[in-house]
Structure 1
Amino acid sequence: MQFIDLKSQYHSSRELINSRIQAVLDHGQYIMGPEVAELEGRLADYTGARHCVTVSSGTEALVIALMALGVGPGHEVITTPFSFIATAEAVLLVGARPVFVDVEPGTGNIDARLIAARITPATRAIIPVSLYGQPADMHAINRIANRHGLAVIEDGAQSFGATYRGLQSGNLSTIGCTSFFPSKPLGCYGDGGALFTSDEALATAMREIRIHGQSRRYVHTRLGVGGRMDTLQCAIVLAKLERFAWEVEQRRRVAAAYDVMLQPHVPVLACQPDRTSVYAQYTVLVDERERVREILDSAGIPTAVHYPLPIHQQPAYAHLAAGERYPVSEDLAARVLSLPLSPYLPAADVHRVANAVLRAAGVTQGGSIEPVEELG
């Protein structure tokens, strides 16, 4: 069993992926080739944002967003301590200071109720993370930001294809960022990412920053980075877009099957009713996690932990929150366990994983549980 089945995904779209790659090899424009603009147009249309700017990674997307907003030394950015390190890393890379706010126990997303108390005169932006594929409470976050004159950058590295109150992730705030790392719901075969905005000035700034601050060839009007997304990677994402809607639906069907089998017995980080998730991960909470992982591993079931140590406890970041505690983040970090999930996961495997989790977690029932339905 694969934790994320990229091989089956490739085989399902092999001809289209190969033809897209061959087209790039034929025209030879490996940097800023025509597939770059084509993908940006497709992604902007998908999200509803006026502008999409492809970049070299999800991390670079965050850095470029902060640079475009003028965030730098002496500034603070509010974000979550329960995320991949890139969220806080990007803030430090532009010279600003991340200020942490604890998360909701039911979703793992930043707790909007705690944000206002952390705002100071130095605050310039808020970066909520759409963790595990589900957006945070963006309406509440945007309302707080508007009241204080702050920008909001959605770290949607895990949530492209998800919605919040009918709007697509990426088009929920001042700037949206996403990642096309291979394991993401929409991934390439290397690193890649994108920025979304409906602000013309920000879009111009982000396009220039990604090419060394260049407004036209060899004219550099601002500080920039080498942050372009390779043409080949754009071509791969274009190919994968053709099946993306189907894959998102399958991810939700797998997650719904897990929900029926597991939610009555094991705590699950659940999707809220006003949003949808693309289930970049399907995550449960277990005690004695390493024991549970060993039992599942012995049954041939792969698992992952996203993330075992909160950012404020990481050696390179601990000084940012000396003496501070974020109890929900710390509890989740000790208990989260992500289960196999892909659009190509057979119903029999969903059933097998769910039963194994219940047995490993010590849940006793009258016989094994049955899958709710055959997945498409």
Structure 2
Amino acid sequence: MLPFVDLTRQTTHEGDALREAIGRVLASGRFVLGPELEAFEAEFAAFTGQRHCVGLSSGAAALALSLRAVGVAPGDEVIVPAFTAVPSAAAICSIGALPVFVDVLPETATMDPDAARRAMTEKTRAVMPVHLYGRPSDVPALGVPVVEDAAQAHGAVTGSRSAAVAYSFYPTKNLGGVGDGGAVVTDDDAVASELRLLRSHGFESPDDCIRIAMNARMSELEAAVLRLRLGGLQAANAKRRSIAARYREGSAHLRWQDPHPDHVYHLCVARVDDRDAFRATLGVATDVHYSKAVPEQPAYRSFSGEPCVVSEAWARECVSLPCHPFMSDLEIDEVAGALAATAR
């Protein structure tokens, strides 16, 4: 059966270039906060059209430290869509803040701006739109700092629209590394400076610790691999768009996430009425992102908010289809044919 994803295809394709990038780090003897990270930060900042990039240990760390950097404190509320990956909400909770879940739009699975406005209280200190599956979300203007969750949206959002944009470089992402990694891009000098403090135990100098913080540094190995892969990101995103278009054109009977010209299709997702039956008979590997809205998860049921019925519907019906730049034309045709056959 055609696999949902196969990361060995990328490493095989990169071959000597990947070995050279890793070997360069090993030969340097610098493994943390070295020249590879400095170079990657400059290159990714330029790619996103922002003045600063701060490399971090994971996407979850990028979200959590961004919230701290914009002033969110324990007990504060952060508005977040109910239909997202758990780490979006976990990052809020990790700093002692409270997630306030709001529903998503039925067509896009991204934050409903009207629901976000209704959720505002005197305790709201930030809002976290999520660019789910790689589709840009609206960024609501609510009078509080915006921290964008772009963990799945490398190349989908550029320029300065918010206080901070957080990325994940988990290996399956459009720009993925060889382990966990993350980054924040921002045009705000103060936010960037705070992030650099928070990622290194709060040390301002070798002798002065001025923040209580943990270690959230990106490794030099991760940075070197990300530098290699950044150069091919635009072409890889274009391939993902072409695959998604092929699926959609042949299967208009399925309910697809609404298109967007900047969608980068980290995941290509359709909605179906009977997901279990659809997956069992399709004949190619699929996945589910995500089977529950976050407030339906046992750990998050205690957080209050208005009903999120659209999020729950997406969670019941969403199916993720194979969509990555190392698929062959024959494999794309196989998936497209299997999807078209479901109309019969």
Smaller-chain TM-score range?
over 0.9
In structure 1, distance between residues paired with 2:149 and 2:33: 24
In structure 2, distance between residues paired with 1:257 and 1:66: 39
Q: Which residue of 1 aligns with 2:273?
A: 287
Q: 1:307 aligns with which of 261, 283, 290?
A: 290
Q: Which residue of 1 aligns with 2:231?
A: 242
Q: Deviations over 1:56-111 (max 9, x none)?
A: 00000011111112212221000111011011111111111111110011111001
Secondary structure of the equivalent of 1:119?
coil
Q: Which residue of 1 aligns with 2:153?
A: 159
Secondary structure of the equivalent of 2:183?
strand
Of 212-221 and 312-321, more deviation after overlay is shown by 212-221
In structure 2, distance between residues paired with 1:172 and 1:132: 19
Which segments of structure 1 move beyond 3 Å, counting only runs of 4 or more? none
In structure 2, distance between residues paired with 1:245 and 1:98: 34
Structure 1 counterpart of 2:321, which letter?
A: L
Structure 1 counterpart of 2:57, which letter?
A: S
Are 1:69 and 2:70 an aligned pair? Answer: yes
Q: Which residue of 1 aligns with 2:91?
A: 90
Secondary structure of the equivalent of 2:92?
helix
Secondary structure of the equivalent of 1:151?
coil
In structure 1, distance between residues paired with 2:113 and 2:167: 21
Secondary structure of the equivalent of 1:211?
coil
Contact 2:83 2:293 in 1 (8 A): yes
CA shift at 1:249, angstroms? 1.2
Are 1:266 and 2:248 an aligned pair? Answer: no
Contact 2:70 2:163 in 1 (8 A): no
Secondary structure of the equivalent of 2:118?
helix
Structure 1 counterpart of 2:293, which letter?
A: P
CA shift at 1:327, angstroms? 0.7
Contact 1:63 1:94 in 2 (8 A): yes
Q: Deviations over 1:91-137 (max 9, x none)?
A: 11111111111001111100112211111110000000000001101
Contact 1:61 1:193 in 2 (8 A): yes
Q: Which residue of 1 aligns with 2:80?
A: 79
Q: Which residue of 1 aligns with 2:181?
A: 192
Aligned length: 343
Structure 1 counterpart of 2:136, which letter?
A: P
Contact 1:76 1:122 in 2 (8 A): yes
In structure 2, distance between residues paired with 1:22 and 1:2: 30
Q: Which residue of 1 aligns with 2:301?
A: 318
Q: Which residue of 1 aligns with 2:134?
A: 133
Q: Deviations over 1:244-283 (max 9, x none)?
A: 2211111111111112112x211101223xx411101000
In structure 1, distance between residues paired with 2:72 and 2:326: 42
Contact 1:107 1:269 in 2 (8 A): yes
In structure 2, distance between residues paired with 1:11 and 1:247: 16
Gaps of 5+ in 2: none
Contact 1:49 1:198 in 2 (8 A): yes
Contact 2:40 2:223 in 1 (8 A): yes
In the superposition, the TM-score normalised over structure 1's length comes to 0.88
Secondary structure of the equivalent of 1:341?
coil
Q: Which residue of 1 aligns with 2:202?
A: 213
Q: Deviations over 1:24-57 (max 9, x none)?
A: 0001111112101000000001011110000000
Residues 1-376 of structure 1 aligned to structure 2 (within 5 Å): 1-138=2-139, 141=140, 144-145=141-142, 148=143, 150-163=144-157, 167=158, 171-262=160-251, 264-272=252-260, 275-296=261-282, 299=283, 301-321=284-304, 324-359=306-341, 361=342, 363-364=343-344
Secondary structure of the equivalent of 2:255?
coil
In structure 1, distance between residues paired with 2:250 and 2:161: 32
In structure 2, distance between residues paired with 1:218 and 1:332: 51
Secondary structure of the equivalent of 1:125?
strand
In structure 1, distance between residues paired with 2:12 and 2:242: 21
CA shift at 1:10, angstroms? 1.6
Structure 2 counterpart of 1:59, which letter?
A: A
In structure 2, distance between residues paired with 1:357 and 1:64: 41
Q: Deviations over 1:309-335 (max 9, x none)?
A: 11101101101037x421100000000
Change (3 A) 1:355 1:321: farther
Contact 1:292 1:357 in 2 (8 A): no
Sequence identity percentage: 36
In the superposition, the TM-score normalised over structure 2's length comes to 0.96
Contact 2:250 2:340 in 1 (8 A): no
Structure 2 counterpart of 1:155, which letter?
A: D
Contact 2:271 2:318 in 1 (8 A): yes
Secondary structure of the equivalent of 2:303?
helix
